[in-house]
Structure 1
Amino acid sequence: MSLANQSAYLSALGRHEDALVEINEALNVYRVLAVDRPAVFNADLARSLTSESAYLSALGRHEEALVETKEALDMYRTLAAERLVVFNADIAMSLSNLSLYLLALGRHEEALAETREAVDLYRALVAEQPVMFNDDLARSLSNLSMYLSALGRHEEALAETKEAVDMYRTLAAERPVVFNADLAMSISNLSVYLLALGRHEEALAETKEALHLYRALAAERPAMFNADLSRFLSHQSGCFSALGQHEEALAETKEALDLYRALAAERPAVFNADLARSISSLSTYLLALGRQEEALVAAKEASDLYRALAAQRPVVFNADLARSLSNISRYLSAFGRHEEALVAAKEAVDLYRVLVAERPVVFNADLASSLSSLFKYLSAFGRREEALVVIKEAVDLYRALAAERPVVFNPALAESLSNLSTFLSAFGQHEEAQVAIKEALDMYRMLAAERPAVFNVYLAGSLNYLSCWLSDLDQHDEALVAITEGLDIYRNLAEEHTPAFNFDLACYLDTLSTCLSHLGRGEEALAAMQQAVSLCHALAADSERPAEFNQSLYLFLINLSARLSYLDRWQEGLTAIREAAEFRRALAAEPPAVPDAELAKSVEQFSNYLLKAGHQEGARLILLELSKLKML
């Protein structure tokens, strides 16, 4: 058996190191022979270079693979100048290989140009010999779709891969043993592009056939197909997650992770990137299921792997490192570690800015998302001026993205507009704030009409915010209309998901009570406030209650006392104020250095109401309560 054939068999068994040794020996022989008789041996030399480049790439040595395949391509072009019919197929193959290695090195535009030339050559070859070249054309179309997708051109990628799938179905029907792997890969790509376009149900539907094919292939030849199976499981987990099926997503990614750990243990240079990606997905699904500590551990492991990879190949892995840092910032924030979250978010934004400068179509969405996260952390630290600048930039990016892909980016744009409105209002820019919140509200109405189960909660929240904002501007009638609509939506949600939504329902009732109070409808305002306090009392023993629960109940009690005093129900108002004071004391592990201004102010106002109404004894009691508060 020749050295070249021996290397091919070794490679087919996944023994790429051994294959490389054999082909390197063959290559040395052909170089010597080609010096004396180039007309006879240049073709063999070019084929050996092509094989060696493939084995180098399989071992993650993409720079070396690129050098080898460029040399082979130059030789094939020279040979084709004399015998075009014979060597055009070799040129097309070399161009396809060259594009793959360029892609692996992050040189997407160059990869796209090379594969377009390969597709054109293969189309011409198929026109003359379809049986011979249909599989090569299908493979080139698959590659072309990948490069288009990598450049953010998902619609074009989808069109190319549909053609490839059709071709592979025909080929696999005739020779399943040969082409089932290619069919599985092309269906997988089709699902990936559908997911990128927000067509989640279609994306998941496509995965079933591909998974069946990959499991069968991996069962027969695990060394060859375990990597493909694990890669596909990772993708399928993303489809489940996009549809909110996080338990299923977690199960799939755990299976993929087990496969990747085994693969990376044998060939870390090749599979550490996939391992990092799988761990990163695991952290995302754990977080979605409320398993925050496990999510943070996984995210840190992924980040460590990506740092090492990015240090060696920044062009390829800086994007993954940035994404990993964004995840870590979210998890740290969930644990209240806001300073660390802010540092990670800033590093992610800096990395994305560099990436956007080179490939805006691909990374603008990631930059927008990372800016939104940075906005939240800056807000938490009270750095409002910086936060406003950041959220404005995020809105501008999401506008451009939503104009091209509304299904994917309208939800993020609506959320960013809501955040922008909040900060514009805080800076006194009320007209701009009104424009932003109304635009967000219009978008949420449209989204909720299409997917009520997902977006009704956001629509209700947007209406609640609009109501609060209108109340601040003394537009109480309009505020009442907004919160009434929001409450109708939220009452339905609370009925379906009790007690998960009861706290938010209580907050919305507080907003309603404020609106009614401003309009002089005291009895209705009191009823709404009593219902809000009642809901919070019911939640008091719930260990899963929101972090802001205590502060909100405390303020609700203060508001309740105000509603009661408005109706001259002084004794009940005094009871509410005392409960608020006792609740405030219970919250403090140690007496605070300063009195609680909000409660002290409310108690003082309440005493004034009593005095004006001629209830001197009640006023004396409440002033005594105030003096106790000021000692806290």
Structure 2
Amino acid sequence: MALSLVGSISMERRRHSEAVTYLEESTNIRRLLVASNREKHENLLAVVLLRHGVCCAEVGKAREAVALGEEAVMIRRRLAEKDPSHFIPYLAYALYTLAWCLSKCGKHSDAISPSMEALEMRRKLAEADPAAYEPALSGSFHSHALYLSQSPTTLAESIEPGQEAVEIRRRLAREDPQSFDADLAWSLSNLAYDLDSCSRHSEAVPIAKDCVDIRRRLAEGNPAANEASLASSLHRYAFYLSKSPATLAESIEPDQEAVEIRRRLAREDPQSFDADLADSLFNLASNLDSCSRHSEAVPIAKECVDIRHRLAEGDPAAHEASLADSLHNYAWYLSTSPTTLAESIEPGQEAVEIRRRLAREDPQSFDADLADSLFNLACNLDSCSRHSEAVPIAKECVDIRRGLTTRDCATYEPLLAGALNILAWYLAQISGRASEAPMPAEESVKIFRRLALEDPKRSMNDLAMSLDTMAYSLNHCGRYEDALPPVLEGLEIYRKEMEGETYEISDQNSSALHKTYVESLVGLGRDDEASVPLKSAIIIYERLVSAEPEDASYSLKLHECRQLLERLASGS
């Protein structure tokens, strides 16, 4: 008896390793007592078995945990057959606990059957006596939804029990908020998460908001116990809001509040809260960037990088991948402004370095991320006029994405075409290497042309871009006549868009096509034909400069076009 009590106290204090020792000895004693008097001691043995099983699961002794839980269920099933009115609640609890042990040990699908059996028993008990059994029934619905949500094949089935758990706990919390608000918040949190995982983002938002409101009240009453879970709720609420353009801007405030709370918690206990703070900083920076608040995203992303650097130094295996994610995004935010563009190179290179190492060890998991970082780094090097450095980076990106198309052609072929396009563009900039540019440009065009036939709305703008790059590459080789067919094809796509086709061609691509066409005509000595497309290019560049004054490249191209127009007008 004393051993069982000490074990239970250790268990409640979450000293599970210590509890296992006491409960193991208590289990052995109870078995001896059952041997002498089964009727008197068998249910008490089941109590100890369940506690012992829970503690074994907590310390990673999976096989022992499940065996102890199964033995407890077997005992109580036998007792319930003899005296159902007394032992059915005990059997339901044993099944509920066995399911928990199975899930805790990573056997989520195995947990579903005992969980469902416990749920059905508790449903019948609650129908007969709601006051006594509805709290336990809500616990079964909550846990059952959790086990279903662990597998993609049963995820959608988790919504209904999750909703039932919320419905019961709402009712219980209205009558006794002090006892049931915390449980209701957990069920709301899980339901919102599962709805979001089922791509039902808009339905997740009000559920997550309810969870935030409850946890805010709980945190006001007891900050030490509830601020961490409030921060988690705010973090997730912001995440769900960010999934829709209609609510993206609303995500910033809860994100900022989550960061504020987690900063405070991390100052007091960095070991427990630094990783959570980094997650919230990462999301806040991403959402600020998505709201075109790029300069605000930069210091937030830098803080995230600094924290994840420290975490990765302590445990590289656990934190290097997320550090690479942070560096990748930080480089992106820096690259959005001409004043910080040059600063983007170093974090971009570090992201590539980490992801290269991770991809060597696990290409299946990290090749795609590595390709993304290579693509961005190449773009930023090119934007800094470091074209020769951009080429091998872009080439590596092409090689990886070509390999990825063998795994998933639909996803990676457009990305391969994009990488081929930038490779061609960079080669065309380098003296002595322009002749290498048409080949990747042509491959990019072939891919985008095929994709545009399948889905014009999605791919026609990319086709126009790649046609411009191909013509631009040929111009740089002095092959002006060869450049005319692709550039005219691109301009025909633009003309059809202006006449009402369903696809859209960006001003960036249409201005480039007009400018490239002018360069082809001038190269062929057909200056008299160049003025009309040149004036069109000037109009579009003026629009771009007005819309994006911070992008110096548009002002430069506008200036070049105006100078060329003056020369053509003067006949020089």
Q: Give me the TM-score of the superposition, normalised by structure 1.
A: 0.66
Instruction: Look up the equivalent residue of 2:244 and give its one-letter code.
Output: L
Alignment of 1:276-291 (within 5 A): 276-291=231-246
Q: Compared with structure 1, are the counterparts of its residues 191 and 45 closer, same or farther at alpha carbon in structure 2 (3 Å cutoff)?
A: closer
The offset of 1:531, in angstroms, is 4.4
Alpha-carbon displacement from aligned partner over 1:58-93 (angstroms, at most 9, x marks no partner): xxxxxxx447x7887786578679768679977776
Q: Compared with structure 1, are the counterparts of its residues 597 and 460 closer, same or farther at alpha carbon in structure 2 (3 Å cutoff)?
A: closer
Question: Is the counterpart of residue 123 in structure 1 residue 67 in structure 2?
Answer: yes
Alpha-carbon displacement from aligned partner over 1:575-614 (angstroms, at most 9, x marks no partner): 3334444555566669999995545556656777xxxxxx
Q: Compared with structure 1, are the counterparts of its residues 377 and 125 closer, same or farther at alpha carbon in structure 2 (3 Å cutoff)?
A: closer
The offset of 1:518, in angstroms, is 3.9
Question: Is the counterpart of residue 491 in structure 1 residue 474 in structure 2?
Answer: no
Q: Compared with structure 1, are the counterparts of its residues 434 and 212 closer, same or farther at alpha carbon in structure 2 (3 Å cutoff)?
A: same
* Counterparts of 1:127 and 1:207, CA distance in 2: 29
The offset of 1:143, in angstroms, is 2.1
Alignment of 1:401-420 (within 5 A): 401-402=358-359, 406-420=363-377
Question: Is the counterpart of residue 441 in structure 1 residue 411 in structure 2?
Answer: no
Given that 1:142 and 1:186 are in contact with CA atoms closer than 8 Å, whether structure 2 keeps it comes out as: no
Q: How many residues align?
A: 514
Alignment partner, residue 438 of structure 2? 480
Instruction: Look up the equivalent residue of 1:249 and give its one-letter code.
Output: H
> Which of 463, 466, 472 in structure 2 is aligned with 1:508?
466
Given that 2:205 and 2:241 are in contact with CA atoms closer than 8 Å, whether structure 1 keeps it comes out as: no
Alignment identity in percent? 24
More displaced stretch, 440-449 vs 123-132? 123-132
Given that 1:414 and 1:443 are in contact with CA atoms closer than 8 Å, whether structure 2 keeps it comes out as: yes
Alignment partner, residue 219 of structure 1? 167
Question: Is the counterpart of residue 233 in structure 1 residue 185 in structure 2?
Answer: no
> Which of 233, 238, 252 in structure 1 is aligned with 2:204?
252
Q: Compared with structure 1, are the counterparts of its residues 586 and 386 closer, same or farther at alpha carbon in structure 2 (3 Å cutoff)?
A: closer
Question: Is the counterpart of residue 143 in structure 1 residue 104 in structure 2?
Answer: yes
Instruction: Look up the equivalent residue of 1:144 and give its one-letter code.
Output: C
Q: Compared with structure 1, are the counterparts of its residues 320 and 138 closer, same or farther at alpha carbon in structure 2 (3 Å cutoff)?
A: same
Alignment of 1:22-37 (within 5 A): none
* Counterparts of 1:594 and 1:389, CA distance in 2: 22
Given that 1:233 and 1:253 are in contact with CA atoms closer than 8 Å, whether structure 2 keeps it comes out as: no
1:116 counterpart SS class: coil
Q: Compared with structure 1, are the counterparts of its residues 309 and 403 closer, same or farther at alpha carbon in structure 2 (3 Å cutoff)?
A: same
Instruction: Look up the equivalent residue of 2:465 and give its one-letter code.
Output: C
Alignment partner, residue 487 of structure 2? 529
Alignment of 1:35-434 (within 5 A): 43=4, 47=8, 49=9, 53=12, 65-66=13-14, 114-117=58-61, 120=64, 123=67, 126=70, 130-132=74-76, 136-145=97-106, 160-165=107-112, 167-168=114-115, 185=143, 188-189=146-147, 191-192=149-150, 203=152, 205-222=153-170, 223=172, 226-240=184-198, 245=199, 248-262=200-214, 264-266=216-218, 273-291=228-246, 292-311=248-267, 313-381=269-337, 386-402=343-359, 406-422=363-379, 430=388
* Counterparts of 1:124 and 1:585, CA distance in 2: 75
* Counterparts of 1:85 and 1:443, CA distance in 2: 65
* Counterparts of 1:455 and 1:333, CA distance in 2: 25
Q: Compared with structure 1, are the counterparts of its residues 392 and 560 closer, same or farther at alpha carbon in structure 2 (3 Å cutoff)?
A: same
Alignment partner, residue 620 of structure 1? 570
Given that 2:166 and 2:188 are in contact with CA atoms closer than 8 Å, whether structure 1 keeps it comes out as: no
Q: Give me the TM-score of the superposition, normalised by structure 2.
A: 0.72
Given that 2:3 and 2:25 are in contact with CA atoms closer than 8 Å, whether structure 1 keeps it comes out as: no
Given that 2:514 and 2:534 are in contact with CA atoms closer than 8 Å, whether structure 1 keeps it comes out as: yes
More displaced stretch, 121-130 vs 558-567? 121-130
The offset of 1:183, in angstroms, is 7.9
Question: Is the counterpart of residue 558 in structure 1 residue 480 in structure 2?
Answer: no
Instruction: Look up the equivalent residue of 1:529 and give its one-letter code.
Output: V
Alignment partner, residue 464 of structure 1? 421
Q: Compared with structure 1, are the counterparts of its residues 489 and 233 closer, same or farther at alpha carbon in structure 2 (3 Å cutoff)?
A: farther
